Structure 1
Amino acid sequence: MVPETIAPKTTRWNELIKSLPKAHLLQTSHWADFKARYGWIPNYLVWEESQDGWQMRVYQEADIQVEFPAAAGLLLEREAFPGLRVLYLPKGPLLADWSNQALGEKVLDDLAAYAREKGALQIKMDPDLELGSGIPGEDDFQLFGVGEEFQNLLRRKGWIFSREQIQFRNTVLVDLQEDEEQILARMKSKTRYNIRLSGRKGIQIRLGEIGDLPSLYRMYADTSRRAGFTIRGESYYLTLWRSFMKDGLGMGQDPQAQPIIAEYEGKMVAGAVIFKFGERSWYLHGMSLPEHSEKMAPHLIQWEAMRWAKRQGCVVYDMWGAPDQFNDSDSLWGVYRFKRGFGGVVSLTIGAWDFPARPMLYAAYNRWLPRILQIMRWFGNRRTGQAARSVE
């Protein structure tokens, strides 16, 4: 039976999920509101302790009062095709204790039942649950038993490692808890040199404003064309960035987004959009022009982004993306070589997993999905190529 829909209570969803470990930007009500503009319906799931054990409740609004949630998750739903719904917990669910097998089983059972009752094709999750840290094969590599145990539980409960990994499975995390000199000292010497070189070469850094966003998108489109990756259209990113900036920067908004811009002689040459929520920050979007690349503006941007995040009270800076295979055959290898210079630690997560609530349709959907995505990327590359030409 589908759990009852509860009338909204008094406090905000974002405060609720902050009480759980590793609350993620993509689990916030701000993210839900943004995705609702593109056809996704948000559902707010909370597991509470009761006399009968943990009970899952579903809320349609983000104003929720739960003092000690055992687990929670922003669940997005939409029609993939007429009559076929898909469900997705981006970087969720969030559990108070991932080592609690009984809680894990309850959450997975409830999600599977909810997907079936909804008539959904599938439900996808990609929680920020670590399998290990460091690079496999290197001395500092270590595996975490909790992640492995939950992965085994997923398999036992009929979940399948997803062919469609929507978010990056791995990333690089920079610890911001030490002072700036210590953070710099952890970086590779070449990275520190390039940060200082950029300043000596005349690169100026400033915090961006709403009016800078169209120029940042055009530069992002140019970057994607040169680097060979696909991005969405201009309206998507401008809506996203504005949504997280709308209440005004520097006023304690949480979550929030902050563009950081590098200029040379008054001209924008590189940029990044940094997001923060709670004590964590994320480098989601970076862009640059080929002109003046020898001045190393992206290095200085990363350093200033870390300094900004630290001033906001963040203790972790997530560089958002690392290879699945740590060699030059992986498409992220070149980007990773840049990121690893900043003294972060590679974080390996369990990635995205699907529960096929309608197995036959799920198999057909996943057989055709790569072809559909290939067509969409072709159109997307044409669109961003046109935007990129405006900065040439």
Structure 2
Amino acid sequence: MLTLTSPPPATRSAAALDLDMLTTAEHLAFLRGRRARTDAGPGQVSFLQTPAWARVKQGWLAESLGWRDERGLVVGAALVLYRRLPHLRRSFAYLPEGPVIDWSDPALAGRWLAPLLEWLRGAGAFAVRMGPPLAYRHWTAATLKAATGPGRRIGDVLPDLVDPLGAAVADRLRDAGWRRCAAEDGGDAQPRLVFEVPLAGRRREDLWAGLNQEWRRNVRKAAKSGVVCGATGPEDLPVFHELLGVTERRDGFRLGRSLAYFQRQYEALNAEEPDRMRLYTARHEGRVLAAHTMVRAADGSRIWYQTGASADLGREVRPSNGLQWRMLCDAHELGASVYDMRGIPDTLDPADRAHGLLRWKLGTGGRAVEMSGEWELPLDGALDGVVNRTLLRAMHGFLARR
């Protein structure tokens, strides 16, 4: 059933907010306190918008920006990454899963985005891409399971919920000249379709009941077989990365992330806030059979299962199911509202190789969510249309290779 809720009323001023640079301390203080603010507005606080993420992304320049109200208080923040194309003085600006602002403000373009665009032009950016951290459409696991069939895709299925704010923001961005990234642009750099398990207001018993019969059987099988699941430390990142290579070859994908990348991520996120990122392993008879990474939002509202890896051997003792159940329970204990299992394919065709990942995540009883996606806007009026399109194509090629 399609359900709509009313967007918030248009009551705020269109006057642009002040924008300036934030210190790391100011940026973190805003993100950490946002969950408790009653006037913060909707939207996620992604780990990709923390100051530490700038230290993970080698080859990009970065700065923290903040919107201030008339009292000088920080009411919005952004981590902006800049990538300079070879032999050019112009940069491409990217705000992954951000900025963190009040997206429900009807004066979004003039009050929030106008000062951002002015800043980016002054910084020498020829174009900007951002990813509003807003949900657009939701499908329950039951809905997608019932719709599974040859040639079917998630987009073919009537959603259980359409978020009017996601639709309203899309209209406001189009009216302001933004363009949603499409396949010819290299697609979204971050997943548009994700899978979430709601945690707020649920007991552990409710989470267990939400698993389908196969999942419950597999979690029990892991425990009965003596699989030991739990958080470990950075010393196990090499075995995680080795298993990731095994997983990539088995499942036919390629992340292209080095061991040094994950070591840098672990160090940077945990240096900014202890226990921000965890590595979990499932061990059986002394051997690591699966290893998954978990990341916590700066405000604690969301926890992500970021990257998973498993061995070809020992799959009969179901280490990944046991490991995910442990991570799900830990996320619940940490007080997160949502356990985010990140990207899923859009295929509902059981014959498609990629459908196995979706089927596995559906077993948790969560929901598939289509995010608002990433949007781009050319910035440099001094460049003619042909030159700007050429620069954007070059940047899209880089992002696609990444």
What TM-score comes out, normalization by structure 2 length? 0.79
Q: 1:186 aligns with which of 210, 213, 230?
A: 210
Answer yes or no: is the 8 Å Cα contact 1:210–1:245 preserved in 2: no
| Cα separation, 1, equivalents of 2:166 and 2:205 | 33
Identity among equivalent positions (%) equals 27
Q: 1:42 aligns with which of 52, 55, 62?
A: 62
Post-superposition shift, 1:288? 0.3
Q: 1:92 aligns with which of 87, 98, 110?
A: 98
Which residue is equivalent to 1:55?
Answer: none
Answer yes or no: is the 8 Å Cα contact 1:30–1:255 preserved in 2: no
Answer yes or no: is the 8 Å Cα contact 2:178–2:375 preserved in 1: yes
Which residue is equivalent to 2:27?
Answer: 13
Post-superposition shift, 1:289? 0.6
**2:279 maps to 1:259:** yes
Determine helix, strand or coil for the equivalent of 2:189. coil
Post-superposition shift, 1:108? 2.4
**2:364 maps to 1:338:** no
Which residue is equivalent to 2:178?
Answer: 159
User: CA 1:123 to 1:373, structure 2 compared with 1: closer, same or farther past 3 Å?
Assistant: closer
Q: 1:305 aligns with which of 306, 327, 331?
A: 327
Q: 2:236 aligns with which of 204, 212, 216?
A: 212
User: Which residue identity does 1:147 align to in structure 2?
Assistant: G
| Cα separation, 1, equivalents of 2:122 and 2:21 | 17
What TM-score comes out, normalization by structure 1 length? 0.81
Determine helix, strand or coil for the equivalent of 1:43. strand
User: CA 1:180 to 1:355, structure 2 compared with 1: closer, same or farther past 3 Å?
Assistant: same
Answer yes or no: is the 8 Å Cα contact 1:25–1:255 preserved in 2: no
Determine helix, strand or coil for the equivalent of 1:29. coil
User: CA 1:366 to 1:8, structure 2 compared with 1: closer, same or farther past 3 Å?
Assistant: closer
Q: Bigger shift: 327-336 or 21-30?
A: 327-336
User: Which residue identity does 2:247 align to in structure 1?
Assistant: T
Determine helix, strand or coil for the equivalent of 2:330. helix
Post-superposition shift, 1:26? 0.9
Answer yes or no: is the 8 Å Cα contact 1:323–1:331 preserved in 2: no
Q: What are the equivalent positions in structure 2 for 1:43-58 lying under 5 Å apart?
A: 43-50=63-70
Determine helix, strand or coil for the equivalent of 1:121. strand
Post-superposition shift, 1:139? 6.5
| Cα separation, 2, equivalents of 1:370 and 1:141 | 33
| Cα separation, 1, equivalents of 2:129 and 2:349 | 28
Answer yes or no: is the 8 Å Cα contact 2:230–2:323 preserved in 1: no
User: CA 1:317 to 1:117, structure 2 compared with 1: closer, same or farther past 3 Å?
Assistant: same
Determine helix, strand or coil for the equivalent of 1:319. strand
Q: Bigger shift: 217-226 or 297-306?
A: 217-226
Q: 2:107 aligns with which of 97, 102, 105?
A: 102
**2:292 maps to 1:272:** yes
| Cα separation, 2, equivalents of 1:7 and 1:202 | 49
User: CA 1:368 to 1:114, structure 2 compared with 1: closer, same or farther past 3 Å?
Assistant: same
Answer yes or no: is the 8 Å Cα contact 1:104–1:150 preserved in 2: no
| Cα separation, 2, equivalents of 1:206 and 1:133 | 31
Q: What are the equivalent positions in structure 2 for 1:1-392 lying under 5 Å apart?
A: 6=21, 8=23, 11-18=25-32, 19=34, 20=40, 21=42, 22-35=44-57, 38-50=58-70, 67=73, 69=75, 71-82=76-87, 83-96=89-102, 98-134=103-139, 136=155, 138=157, 141-162=160-181, 163-164=185-186, 165-177=188-200, 178-231=202-255, 232-246=257-271, 253=273, 256-277=276-297, 278-327=300-349, 332-358=354-380, 359-368=385-394, 376=401
In structure 2, list runs of 5 or more residues that go unmatched: 1-17, 35-39, 140-153
| Cα separation, 2, equivalents of 1:29 and 1:144 | 29
User: Which residue identity does 2:198 align to in structure 1?
Assistant: D
